Amino acid sequence: MKNLLKLVAAVAVLLNVSFAQVKWSVDPAHTNTRFEVKHLGIALIDGQFKKLEGNVETKTGDSFDGATINFTIDVSSIDTRIEARDNHLKSDDFFNAEKFPTITLKNGILKKGKKGEYTLTGDLTIRDVTKKVVFDVVQNNGIITDPWGMTRAGFTAKTKINRLEYNVKYNDLLPTGVPAVASDVSIVVNAEIVKQK
């Protein structure tokens, strides 16, 4: 009986270890979300969101395969270096920051591909629309210990979305029929994450 109890206890410990999650948080000082869209059919205009937060959970401390990821972006932090344009982007023509103050990526799952490459599939919500989106992700130079003893990892994630599918509805056309602002938007997230102790 004593041996059986020891066996049950050992199995319980193993199960707890196998289901334990390693928690990482996004370092907002070293993370940015950038976007790029064609203007008047001739030039690319870019911008960023300056405020965001996020978390990552991994099964182990040295592998990101199967990691779960959640991000929240503050829409009002949009910055294209032109105040009038930023205010227009916050209006109902685009993001309607007053009614929809955040953009979120939830239930993200990171799946390992070739060395250092991953795909991230998650639920992207902009305004009142949620759609599944896939990012191509590269891990930048593995996992490191910084000079202050913290464990860090860095990633670059890229995708392209059709903003009209998310009710980002501004759609003025030039006399030639070319959109003033293209529907396709390229997104790049450069993220640095820190392992929680």
CB atoms within 10 A of CB 166: 20
C-beta atoms surrounding 24 within 10 Å: 24
pLDDT at 12 over 60: no
Query: Does some domain include residue 137?
Result: yes
In which band, very low, low, confident or very high, does the pLDDT at 11 lie, cut at 50, 70 and 90?
Answer: very low
- Per-residue pLDDT of 15-74, as tens digits, reads 444 456 999 999 999 999 999 999 999 999 999 999 999 999 999 999 999 999 999 999
Among candidates 196, 166, 193, which has minimal Cα distance to 35?
A: 166
Of the pLDDT bands very low, low, confident and very high (cuts 50, 70, 90), residue 115 is confident
Per-residue pLDDT tens for 122-181? 999 999 999 999 999 999 988 999 999 999 999 999 999 999 999 999 999 999 999 999
Range of the domain at 185: 22-195
Q: Is the pLDDT of residue 7 over 90?
A: no
Is residue 139 within 8 Å of 154, Cβ to Cβ?
yes
Residue 10 domain-assigned?
no
Residue at 74 is within a domain: yes
pTM for this predicted structure? 0.86
Residue 108 forms part of a structural domain: yes
Q: Is residue 31 part of a domain?
A: yes
Domain assignment present for 40: yes
CATH code for the domain in which residue 100 is found: 2.40.128.110
- 4 within domain boundaries: no
Segment among 90-94, 112-116, 185-189, 193-197 with least mean pLDDT: 112-116
Task: Give the pLDDT confidence score for residue 197 in this predicted structure.
Answer: 85
| Assigned domain for 11 exists | no
Higher pLDDT, 2 or 193: 193
Counted domains in the chain: 1
